[in-house]
Amino acid sequence: MELCSTTFYKIALFTMIGISNVSISDAVLADHVECGDVITSALVLDEDLVCDISPALTVVGPDGRLDMSSNSVQCDGTAVGVVLEGRAALLRAGSVSDCDIGISAEGDGFHNVQSMTTSANSIAGIELVSNSTYLTGSTSKSNTGSGLIISGQRSNVFQNTFEENSLSGIQIDGDRSYVTENFCFQNAGSGIVLNDTDNSWIVENASENNGTPGAGTAGIIVNAFDQQYNLIILNVGILNVDYDAQDLNSDPCNSTILRTVLGGEIGRNQGRI
């Protein structure tokens, strides 16, 4: 593996992400949302649920909108907690725990997940499978898997916290992902993993105190899958166990295949990335 310095790039970022702050003031209380329900209108969850059916709840857009009103969904041997299907479903203001995957955004995409908390999920707290999904203002912590897995394209991940997960904070497999202003803290794996993604922007995130000694982890790590045209700039890496930033490709600076732009240095505990 080769580590090297790169030229610092100052780039004016005019419009990063358009975030939809969706109101569901027109939602009504359900006659008790129950485990296994498929939600196709604007509803408010009025109690905690413990579910042994998978998925525990399904929200189908464009009309399906669920305000969890600070209530929780807990899985009991359940694979998936809440699934978003259709197009432009909304999920907000609750918690999902003890599933294989806490929240899974699927279907036709353009979903909106706001102010959610996931914990104790074995594969991932949140998975974005569909394209063009927004995840904002949420926390994914203490999952025994990853905090977030992005596999769909054009995902927008903005101002979230990923902390104390047993694997990575954020794993990016989907192309054209926009990951900005997130905080990754004390994950046992790397803070942010560019696993298999092209044309993604990783901008103004903070990655602190992530990793396991000797495991080759980093605040931000680029795995060796010939990834290209990613922009990694204006991030902050502090006190990560092995590296603040690491590129595992054989020629991280000059490869004609990998064209990742890095501001500052890529190496051991450099601080600004």
Mean pLDDT of 76-85: 97
Q: What is the mean pLDDT of the chain?
A: 86
**Structural domains present in the chain:** 38-262 (2.160.20.10)
Peptide bond into 55 cis (omega under 30): yes
Model-wide pTM > 0.75: yes
Instruction: Give per-residue pLDDT as tens, 164-221.
Output: 999 999 999 999 999 999 999 999 999 999 999 999 999 999 999 999 999 999 999 9
Neighbours of 251 (CB within 10 A): 12
Peptide bond into 62 cis (omega under 30): yes
Exposure class string for 139-177: b at 16+ Cβ within 10 A, else e: bbbbbbbbbbbbbbbbbbbbebbbbbbebbbbbbbbbbb
Question: CB within 8 A of 140, min separation 6: which ones?
Answer: 102, 117, 118, 119, 124, 125, 126, 147, 148, 160, 161, 162, 163, 165, 169
